[in-house]
Structure 1
C-alpha cells in the first residue's frame, strides 16, 4: 500500500513539473487574445486532414501533428506560431516539438477548435 502511495505521489509530481515547464514556453490564449494576434502570426491547425476539411479557422494551414517533424521547413522560427487542435492536447504536443527545435513564440487556443466561435471555413 505504501508503495502505491509513493508511486502516485511521484506520478503527480512529474505531471505537475511538466505542466509548469510547458507554461514557461507555451502561452495558452483565450479566444479573444487568440483573435488579436493570429493574423500577424503563422496559424497552424494540427488536426488530421479529414478534421480540417470539416471546418477550420479562416486562414489556418493544416500541418497535422503526425506530420510536424517532416514539415518543419514550412514553419518560420522568426515569427509567432499560433496552434490549435480540437481540444488542446495535440497543439500542446506540437508546441513541445517546436520548442525542442528552437521555436520560441508559441501560442495555443484555450479549449481548441471546439470552443472557437469566430469565422470558420
Structure 2
C-alpha cells in the first residue's frame, strides 16, 4: 500500500467516525417522535421541556410550556435544570438537542428525552 492510499483510507475512516458520532444514539437518552412526545408531556407533572435553540429562533415559535436554554449556554446553566424532572429537549432539527442530551447524560441527568426531527417534526400548536 502506498502512502497516498494510506492517507485516503485514514481520511475515509475519520469521516466515517465523524458521521457516526453525529448520528449514533446517545446512551441513556430516549429519542421520540413528535406524537409520542405530545403523549409524554401531556399529563407529566414532573416534566421540563427545554428548547435549546438560540433566543431569536425561540421567539419565532416554541412548543407551549418550553423554556429556552440555548445549547451555546447549556454548560453554564446546568444548575437551572433540576435533576428530579423528566427532561425533554428539542431544537430546530434534532441535532443540537442531541448534543444537549449528550451533555446532560454525561452530567448524570437520569431522565432525558430528545425530540427526533426537532420542532420541524412538531405538528402541534406553537406559542409566540
User: Under TM normalisation by the shorter chain, which class is it?
Assistant: 0.7 to 0.9
Partner of 2:93: 87
Structure that is richer in helix per residue: 1
Partner of 1:49: 55
In 2, distance between residues paired with 1:14 and 1:49?
Answer: 28
Q: How does the TM-score come out when normalised to structure 1?
A: 0.87
Corresponding position: 1:74 with 2:77: no
Q: How does the TM-score come out when normalised to structure 2?
A: 0.83
Corresponding position: 1:105 with 2:111: yes
Partner of 1:11: 15
CA, structure 1 residues 103+117, in 2 after alignment: closer, same or farther (shift >3 Å)?
same
In 1, distance between residues paired with 2:119 and 2:33?
Answer: 12
Q: Which residues of structure 2 form unaligned runs of 5+?
A: none
**Shift, 1:43, TM fit:** 0.3
Higher Cα radius of gyration: 2
Q: Which residues of structure 1 form unaligned runs of 5+?
A: none
Q: How many residues align?
A: 120
Q: Give 3-state SS (helix, strand or coil) of 2:99's partner.
A: helix
